[in-house]
Structure 1
Amino acid sequence: MASYESMTVEIADGVAEVCLTGPGKGNAMGSAFFRELPVVFDALDRDPLVRAVVLRGSGGQFSYGLDLKNMMGELMGHVAPGNLAAERLRLLDFIGELQRGPDAVERCRKPVIAAIAGACIGGGVDVIAACDLRIASRDARFSVREVKVAIVADLGSLQRLPRIIGHGHTRELAFTGKDIDAERALRIGLVNDVYDTEADLLAAARAMAREIAANPPHVVQGVKQVLAYSEDKSIAEGNRYVALWNSAFLASQDLGEAMQAFAEKRPPRFTGK
């Protein structure tokens, strides 16, 4: 297990488990979180032993969102009255640095499963929106809370959520800053499934990650790449891209193993080669 100031990372049997730990209350996201998240996910992206990732929070919460106590000094220093172009450019750079975290989660070639218990507020929603799959426990609650603290959400939720839950639901959440429960999140497609307890949630997330990890890693990563490319393309453009992808990467030892396992009526054993 690797330990950082704001999270821990454990890797076993092809699955990495990233656990948010704070140090802010409710795993609130402070400077350490925004510094470490891109480092961790860039490393997981490069690690050949990692085939899937589970992202969760500690202490029965996913995250309370931005750690205002930790970040207030730095944030307010950028928006003091009288700031001119140079100060505004520094604020632009500051926001860009914060955006690197969710961007790294989305960019990671390994599928990322968000296992959400308790509060998932503000920046927490930005992070789970960057994940590939989201599942929740029944006590989970979600809020695009930034409007309540006079901020336009700027870490990716306004860009990613419409593709997940549609424009109407996104606008409702972002305009009101309201909380929604796990059942509403399930109905609008924010999460795939809801489990009774956090223990059930984590068991399901880990089982899903192991199921993904058992498949040929270059194929799983290819699926993710093709889906990402095709989001804003025509069907013809997406089909051309996947044809090019398979012409480059279809040939593999795993393909031969899949064919042999089918002929021998046994489960395949994929090595990633």
Structure 2
Amino acid sequence: MTDWKAFTVEIADHVAQVTLTGPGKGNAMGPDFWRELPLIFAELDADDEVRAVVLTGAGEHFSYGLDLPAMSPLFGPLLGDKALAAPRTAFLRDIRRLQAAVTAVADSVKPVIAAVSGWCIGGGLDLIAAADIRLASADALFSLREAKVAIVADIGSLHRLPGIIGEGHLRELAYTGKDIDAARAERIGLVNDVYPDRDAVLAAAHELAREIAANPPLVVQGVKDVLDQPKAGRVADGLRYVSTWNAAFLPSEDITEAIQAVFEKRPPAFRGK
């Protein structure tokens, strides 16, 4: 397969392992991530030797989420008082491009198992919400943190997680931006099982992937297609709505303050403006 900048891809025994590698700290999601993710899953979908996919992160963490410094050019035209129709339209296209990258995981014809260790923040949670099955190590921590940086989460968590963890748990995570550990993630159904460490969760994910791969591949793909059908339209409609909402309402003094606070490494002071 292609040499990737933000991933490695290894295939053995009908199982592909897709590993986030950065280059940002904590496998943060920069421009290469968003460009390469849909291309990788298109290649895997076209490869008849691949029957299941394990999705994981290199090193200590799954992902810190969106690489704000690297992706700041997306937000730049919306900051200040000049966010007119043209920059908002460009921003809408950018949101939908990022949404489509994660949707490529959800729409993959091959079952995807996420193996999570360490931090899984923001965009990382969007990504694992698009997987079919999630497993975690005991040190995993999860956070739907967009509210803390003055953003309505718009890449899929708000639309895919209701069917995984339920409305009440989702609203708590989305309104507060709080962190939860692997034990709570298991209790609310975000992950199926928790394992002692990164090696153990990765081994368990591969064992499960091989078990899936041992079944007739077209039947497994058919099962996934049937299970996905009832929610596909709802998720697509929700993604279009939130992208339009953010293109209209995301520009604010609060998001400027949030981005400045990230760069200055200080707590933000939000004013609701």
Shift of 1:85: 1.1
CA distance in 2 between counterparts of 1:34 and 1:195 reads: 29
Contact 1:147 1:174 in 2 (8 A): yes
In structure 2, the CA distance between the partners of 1:101 and 1:210, relative to structure 1 (3 Å rule), is same
8 Å contact kept, 1:28–1:63: yes
Correspondence for 2:98: 98
Native 8 Å contact 2:117 2:140 kept in 1: yes
Report % sequence identity. 61
CA contact (8 A) 2:31 2:70 kept: yes
CA distance in 1 between counterparts of 2:232 and 2:20 reads: 32
For 2:203 and 2:2, locate their aligned partners in 1 and report how far apart those are by CA, in whole Å: 21
Between the two proteins, the alignment pairs up a number of residues equal to 233
SS of 1:153's partner is coil
Do the aligned partners of 2:74 and 2:91 also contact (CA within 8 Å) in 1? no
Mapped partners of 2:7, 2:156: distance in 1:
21
Cα deviation, residue 137, structure 1: 0.1
Residues 115, 136 of structure 1: 8 Å contact kept: yes
Partner SS for 2:113: strand
Quote how far apart the aligned CAs of 1:7 are: 0.4
Distance 1:141 1:124, change over 3 A: same
Q: Which amino acid aligns with 1:182?
A: A
How high is the TM-score relative to the length of structure 1?
A: 0.83
Q: How does 1:251-262 map to 2 (within 5 A)?
A: none
Shift of 1:74: 2.9
Matched residue, 1:45: 45
Displacement, 1:165? 0.3
Unpaired segments ≥5 residues, structure 2: 234-273
- How many Å separate the matches in 1 of 2:176 and 2:157? 14
Which structure has the larger Rg?
1
- Matched with 1:205 is 205
Cα RMSD (Å) = 1.3
- Aligned match of 1:76: 76
For CA contacts below 8 A with separation 6 or more, give which structure has more relative contact order. Answer: 2
Cα contact 1:2–1:10 (8 A) shared by 2? no
TM-score, length basis structure 2 = 0.83
Q: Give the C-alpha shift of residue 3 in structure 1.
A: 3.1
What residue in structure 2 maps to residue 124 of structure 1?
A: 124
CA distance, structure 1, for counterparts of residue 63 and residue 157 of structure 2 = 15
Q: Distance in 2 between matches of 1:227 and 1:110?
A: 13
- Asked whether the 8 Å contact 2:77–2:83 carries over to 1, the reply is no
Structure 1 letter corresponding to 2:132: D
Aligned residue runs from structure 1 range 160-175, under 5 A: 160-175=160-175
Contact 1:122 1:143 in 2 (8 A): yes
Aligned to 2:55: 55
Instruction: State which drifts further: 21-30 or 1-10.
Output: 1-10
For residue 99 of structure 2, what is the amino acid of its counterpart? Q
Maintained 8 Å contact 2:120/2:143: yes
Which stretches of structure 1, 4 residues or longer, exceed 4 Å deviation after superposition?
Answer: none
Q: Sort the Cα spacing of 1:94 and 1:194 in 2 relative to 1 into closer, same or farther, 3 A.
A: same
Report what 2:21 is aligned to.
Answer: 21
2:116–2:135 contact (8 Å) kept in structure 1: yes
Q: How far has the Cα of 1:185 moved from its partner? A: 0.2
Secondary structure of the 1:3 match is coil
Partner SS state of residue 136, structure 1: strand
The equivalent residue for 1:133 is 133
- 1:208-227 residue pairs with structure 2 within 5 A? 208-227=208-227
